[in-house]
Homo-oligomer: A and B are copies of this chain.
Amino acid sequence: MRPKIYLFGDSITEQSFDDGGWGAALANHFSRTVDVVLRGYSGYNTRWAFKVFDRVFPAAETGGSEGAAPPLAVTVFFGANDACLPDGYAAFQHVPVDEYKRNLHSIVSSLKNRWPKTLVILIAPPPIDEDERLRHPYAENPSGLPERTNEAAGVFAKACVEAAGECGIPVVDLWTRMQQYPEWRKAFLSDGLHLTPEGNKVVFKEVMKKLNEGGISLGKLEVDLPVLADIDHADPLKAFQ
């Protein structure tokens, strides 16, 4: 059976198979070796994500009584919604930062309890372009203020990095990484929050780096069926015995 990598997160994960998406890029990279499984839920924060954990990862599907193989890796990518301002129009999605951090701990513990050897990678939320958020509201917004700020996203990103450190697992600090590029607002964000194809490339590269450091790379994975280069032109069927 082919091993799996689960992508668990909010809309930035749900949309990761759209044109140029980081999820599709992972699936393409591992096309002969790994099933990349999409578990993205638009709008979700860590409170809701932890509530649905057992339905996202049902025991029967993922290594309960039937002994299915544990996934190679799981990316956990939340925070963009938790960081909605508590007094903005998206306040119903907000989660206080202390609870956000606790929820990340709970999600990571649940994954690690079930699959001690699975590589769990946290991904911190991206930075926010507030001007673009005002141009792309997803609800009526008479206040004239953005529902998310870059500063708040940064507080949650920092908490995510801390949680990863406390859990002893790798983390992609997307908020910090993206802002190392002067053109991050236009280059990486399509609406001040979601990712352009270039922004998706940043996520893909950073996740690939963490997978690689965690021992997950094409060189170490078994291809389950013969590749064309290993098929003898004079006797092709030999490869399929």
A contact set with B: CB distance below 8 Å: 1, 14-15, 17-21, 23-25, 27-28, 31-32, 35, 37-38, 40-44, 47-48, 51-52, 55-56, 58, 60-61, 66, 92-93, 197, 224-225, 227-228, 231, 233-234, 236-237, 240
* 9 nearest A-B residue pairs (beta carbon): A43-B228, A24-B24, A17-B28, A92-B233, A17-B27, A51-B240, A18-B28, A17-B24, A1-B61
B42 touches A15 (CB 8 A): no
In the complex, what residues of B have CB within 8 A of residue A20's CB? 19
* CA of A31 to CA of B15, assembled, Å: 8
24 contacts between A and B (CB under 8 A): A1-B60, A14-B31, A15-B31, A17-B17, A17-B24, A17-B25, A17-B27, A21-B24, A21-B28, A24-B28, A27-B27, A27-B38, A31-B38, A31-B40, A35-B35, A42-B228, A43-B228, A43-B231, A51-B240, A52-B225, A52-B240, A56-B225, A92-B231, A93-B236
